[in-house]
Amino acid sequence: MNEIEKMKAGVWYDANYNEELLVLRRKAMSLVSKLNQLDGADFEGQAKYIRELFGYEPENFALVLPFICDYGFNIRLGEYVFINSSCYLMDGAPITIGSHTFIGPFCGFYTAAHPLQYKHRNKGLEKALPITVGENCWFGANVSVMPGVTIGSGCVIAAGSVVTKDIPDNSLAAGVPAKVIRTIDQDADLDE
Q: Is the pLDDT of residue 103 over 90?
A: yes
Q: Is the pLDDT of residue 173 over 80?
A: yes
**Of 114, 123, 165, 179, which one is the catalytic site residue?**
114
Query: Is 191 a domain residue?
Result: no
**5: helix, coil or strand?**
helix
Query: Is 66 a domain residue?
Result: yes
pLDDT of residue 40: 83
Mean pLDDT within 60-73:
97
Q: Is the pLDDT of residue 169 over 90?
A: yes
Q: What residues form DSSP beta bridges with 13? A: 126
pLDDT of residue 192: 57
Q: Is the pLDDT of residue 122 over 90?
A: yes
Query: Is 188 a domain residue?
Result: no
What percent of the chain shows pLDDT beyond 90? 97
Distances (CA, A) of 43 to 29, 99, 122, 123: 20, 20, 41, 41
Mean pLDDT within 174-179:
98
Quick: pLDDT tens for 147-156. Answer: 999 999 999 9
Mean pLDDT within 71-97:
98
Q: Is the pLDDT of residue 5 over 90?
A: yes
Query: Is 189 a domain residue?
Result: no
Query: Is 190 a domain residue?
Result: no
Mean pLDDT within 66-84:
98
What percent of the chain shows pLDDT beyond 70? 99
Closest CA to 120 of 1, 13, 25: 13
Predicted TM-score (pTM) of this structure: 0.95
- Tell me, what CATH number does 85's domain have? 2.160.10.10
Is 114 an active-site residue? yes
Query: Is 43 a domain residue?
Result: yes
- Identity (one letter) of the amino acid at 66? P
**Domain interval for residue 124:** 3-183
d(Cα 139, Cα 141) in Å, to the nearest integer? 7
Quick: pLDDT tens for 6-37. Answer: 999 999 999 999 999 999 999 999 999 999 99
What are the φ/ψ torsions at residue 91 (nearest 5 degrees)? -100, 55
pLDDT of residue 190: 84
Query: Is 41 a domain residue?
Result: yes
**Number of domains forming the structure of the chain:** 1
| CA pseudo-torsion sign 107, 113, 116, 119 | negative
Query: Is 192 a domain residue?
Result: no
Mean pLDDT within 119-138:
97
